Amino acid sequence: MRMKLLGSSALVALSLITLGFVGCGGDSDGAAPPTPPPAARAYQVARGFVRDPEGRAVVLRGVNLANAHKHAPYFGPHTEADFARISQEFGMNSIRLLVEWAAVEPQRGKFDGAYLDALAERVTWAKRAGLLVIVDMHQDIYGEGFDGNGAPRWTCDKARYDAFVPAKSWFFSYLDPNVIACFDGLWTSPELQDSYAEAVAAVARRVRDDEVVIGYDVMNEPFWGSQPTVTFEPSVLGPFYARVMDRVRKDSPSAIAFLEPAATRNLGLATQFERMPVEQAVYAPHAYDTTAEQGKGFSAAAKSAYLSRIAKYKVEADEFGTPLWIGEYGGTSGSTGIIEYLDAAYEGAGMAGAGSMLWSYDFDGGYGLVNADRTDKPAILDVVVRPVPRRVAGDAVDYAFDSKTRVFTTSFAPVASITAPTELVAPARVYPSGFDVDCGDCAFERDGDVVRVTRVPAAPRVTVKLTPR
């Protein structure tokens, strides 16, 4: 365990948990509807990327929306205009949309139709904004019984909630034996896991739209409870993921599985998965630098360790034969090292050709992209809003941005059978006076912030370069 490298991270404390406790169970009575026909325009995973219906590699660059979804009424103050801003101003193409099990199924077996309708309305906003949606079944500290979020109270024993003593920092609460007991309850109860699967399927039935909701992040930062960390992923988490996705795909056959490693991955431990437990999966770890995240700086050594970690994620994804998608990274605005760290997060994702999602599109003074009074955080926006190759007619995509010269490059191995154009987004915030495009012997069209490369030379690799005017 890389205790030294992790420094003062409070999450390190979680690695101390190794002992077992007993848990609790539950029942489900959700009914399975008839299976819909396969989608005509499904997104799918192929050759290391999520692919659009035209076969282009999609780099999922976006934001988490939002921390404000964690607690009742389970939505923040976001309006449709806020959704539009993500694509139009931030140049992004996707959101990680937070959904809580407690919101879906507040009482055992009873799904909240009003909540699901409101969720579907947000999906419509995303669709109109041109954003793809990954539904994130979020949890922190198991669920609502522990003043966390995720599981509804009925999923574990009230005595556990009553005995819980909250820690000063939220993540330390994972250490509480009552929290561990409730996780063990989920990991050891097929009935409760079926309930979870039915709840995700209820979401899928309400929001399935193969052009927009491309998949499900089955559980945020799965915590192992008292299960041995070396076997938790292959023996417990993997079968759980398979159970949930098998159920979801009865309602939404083309749903992609965005699968996180166990939360041990955040502690620096390599994943114990040898393969992804379901087909059509994306490997979905998080990439926080816990020191910079907490405002304690981001040294050159920290940067190099951080980039190595993302490179290791890419190796893991390649071993699984899956795309890599960084579902969360971020930190508190105004803190020391935050800009350098967020810059490195983009750099690491670019080297890996990965998508990445900022934590988070909230309106607050902390991790939020926008202040509580709705004024912007210009320095944060400057490092988060970047050009991105959002759809690429090829394989092995990478990209990079030099924050000093504002030169952006992306390269890829063109695939002639993909006839739709490669699309780059170059937000006006990055190039207020415009930009020039250089892609050698290629043809391209410009459409505002968007560059469409319509023809590429017959070369093994093509590079497109944007420079500021």
Smallest gap from Cβ 136 to ligand IDC, in A, equals: 9
CB atoms within 10 A of CB 434: 10
Q: Which is nearer to ligand IDC, 220 or 226 (CB)?
A: 220
Can you tell me which of 140, 144, 251, 260 binds ligand IDC, judged by CB under 6 A? Answer: 140
User: Least distance to ligand IDC from the beta carbon of 304, Å?
Assistant: 21
With CB under 6 A as the rule, give the number of residues binding ligand IDC.
13
- Rounded to 5°, the CA angle 175-65-49 comes to 95
> Which string of x and - marks every residue 87-106 that binds ligand IDC (by CB under 6 A)?
--------------------
Q: How far is the CB of 367 from ligand IDC (least distance, A)?
A: 5
Name the residue nearer to ligand IDC (CB basis): 21 or 170: 170
Interface map 306-335 toward ligand IDC (x if CB under 6 A)? ----------------------x-------
Told to check if 221 binds ligand IDC by CB under 6 A, we report: yes
Given candidates 288, 306, 412, 444, which one binds ligand IDC under the rule CB under 6 A? 288
Residue nearest to ligand IDC (CB): 140
Near ligand IDC in 350-379, by CB under 6 A: 359, 366-367
> Given the complex with ligand IDC, which of 16 and 300 has the nearer CB atom?
16
Contact partners, residue 228, CB within 8 Å, separation at least 6: 18
Report if residue 217 touches ligand IDC, rule: CB under 6 A.
no
The contact pattern for ligand IDC, residues 67-86, with x = CB under 6 A and - = no contact, is x--x----------------
Kindly state whether residue 187 participates in binding ligand IDC, applying the rule CB under 6 A: no
Write down the least CB distance from residue 148 to ligand IDC, Å: 6
By beta-carbon proximity to ligand IDC, the closer residue of 287 and 456 is: 287
Q: How far is 131 from 208, CA to CA, in rounded Å?
A: 14
The contact set with ligand IDC (CB under 6 A) reads: 67, 70, 140, 149, 170, 220-221, 286, 288, 328, 359, 366-367
